[in-house]
Amino acid sequence: MKLKTKNLLTLAELSPKEFVGLIDESIKLKKELKKGGNKPLLKNKTLTMIFQKPSTRTRVSFEIGMSQLGGYAVNLSSNDMQLSRGESVEDTAKTLSRYTDCIMARVYDHDLLEKLSQHATIPVINGLSDAFHPCQILADFMTIKEKKKKLQGIKIAWVGDGNNVCNSMIYGAALSGASMSIATPKGFEPDKKTVKEAQKSTKIKLTTDPIAAAKNADVVVTDTYSSIHNDDPKRIKKFLPKYQVNPKLMKSANKDAIFMHCLPAKRDQEVTSSVIDGPQSVIWDEAENRLHTQKALLASLIRA
């Protein structure tokens, strides 16, 4: 499948068919890998990765993913680039476009990604910004599809900070026909524009009541209260104890509800150890699925 969009910065660039298609393709690639290996779909293709912030899953899954498809990835910390000495984003984008087939960047400010994509002649993928984390959501919806066998009609409860991952999950819900109930303290709601856009195609409900949000949910999700771009320790007090995912909150959800977290997690802060390490948690499948979805995404953007 070839995507219509050149870049993936938010998820809003995708049609519902493309979003669901990417997930199905990821499931196929996963099966193929487990049967002995993937075909070299990206032979001689290269990916350049720019990291302004730390990463474990995103970096490793993109790099290994390229290699499993016969391609090659170059990893750059932005501190090692001339970008850190004032070279413009425009010149960086134009230079990289002459060497490589795709750029994946993890940045503080989402605007930098917009600029990079405007000046690059090759696809640019958002590997996390202060506003969105689209690649995470591909893996999350792949995991939901594997566990629940469908996406349409699935009820997702988001509890905690209405952050970058939450914003992208809202787009994921809109693209797949899932619904979301989002419980955050006042002042920590997800991006208004994203919510409004998504509400045109699905049910997105905002509340301050986590137990009500979790009611009848098929999936319960949370994320850290202190994102890399926003890690003031004082924030934590605004969330605890009310917005912690714990056994009582999980009881409000469906009996067979799954628990998800993009990781890294702070155990016994946003989620108790009993839940994240308990039988409803699917966090390791979710983390693994980053690998399979990165590959489907890369193949759909840069395959010849």
Q: Which does 56 bind (CB under 5 to 8 A by kind): ligand CP, ligand NVA, none?
A: ligand CP
CA geometry: angle at 246 spanning 241 and 251, to 5°?
125
In whole angstroms, how close is the CB of 129 to ligand NVA at the nearest point? 8
| 191 interacts with ligand NVA by CB under 6 A | no
CA–CA separation, 161 and 229 (whole Å): 13
| 128 interacts with ligand CP by CB under 6 A | yes
Active-site choice (136, 244, 280, 294): 136
Count of residues that interact with ligand CP, criterion CB under 6 A: 8
Q: Is 59 a catalytic residue?
A: no
Among 41, 42, 214, 262, which residue interacts with ligand NVA (rule: CB under 6 A)?
262
- Please enumerate in sequence order all residues whose Cβ is within 8 A of that of 235, keeping only pairs 6 or more positions apart, or say none: 161, 225, 226
| 281 interacts with ligand CP by CB under 6 A | no
- Comparing CB distances to ligand NVA, the nearer of 120 and 125 is 125
Q: Is 136 a catalytic residue?
A: yes
- Measured in degrees and rounded to the nearest 5, phi and psi for residue 249 equal -65, -40
Cβ pair 296, 26 in contact under 8 A? yes
Alpha helices for 35-79 (secondary structure H): 57-68
From the CB of residue 299, how many other CB atoms can be counted at a distance below 10 Å? 24
CA–CA separation, 258 and 130 (whole Å): 26
- Comparing CB distances to ligand NVA, the nearer of 126 and 164 is 164
Build a one-symbol-per-residue string for 91-110: x at contacts with ligand CP by CB under 6 A, - elsewhere.
--------------------
| 64 interacts with ligand CP by CB under 6 A | no
| 230 interacts with ligand CP by CB under 6 A | no
Build a one-symbol-per-residue string for 131-170: x at contacts with ligand NVA by CB under 6 A, - elsewhere.
--------------------------------xxx-----
> For residue 35, how many C-alpha atoms fall within 13 Å in the half-sphere facing its CB?
8
Options 5-13, 53-61, 68-76, 291-299: segment touching ligand CP (CB under 6 A): 53-61
Options 56-64, 97-105, 166-174, 277-285: segment touching ligand CP (CB under 6 A): 56-64
- Measured in degrees and rounded to the nearest 5, phi and psi for residue 38 equal -90, 155
| 56 interacts with ligand CP by CB under 6 A | yes
- Please enumerate in sequence order all residues whose Cβ is within 8 A of that of 138, keeping only pairs 6 or more positions apart, or say none: 19, 22, 23, 26, 172, 293, 296, 297
CA–CA separation, 150 and 141 (whole Å): 9
- Residues in the annotated binding site for carbamoyl phosphate: 55-58, 82, 106, 133-136, 262-263, 290
Cβ pair 162, 182 in contact under 8 A? yes
- Residue 4: exposed, middle, or buried by beta-carbon count in 10 A (0-12, 13-18, 19+)? exposed
| 262 interacts with ligand CP by CB under 6 A | yes
Active-site choice (68, 106, 140, 280): 106
Q: Is 166 a catalytic residue?
A: no
Active-site choice (110, 119, 133, 292): 133
- Residues in the annotated binding site for L-ornithine: 164, 223, 227-228
From the CB of residue 186, how many other CB atoms can be counted at a distance below 10 Å? 7
Among 223, 272, 281, 297, which residue interacts with ligand NVA (rule: CB under 6 A)?
223
CA–CA separation, 284 and 170 (whole Å): 22
Q: Is 223 a catalytic residue?
A: yes
Could you list the active site residues? 106, 133, 136, 223, 262, 290
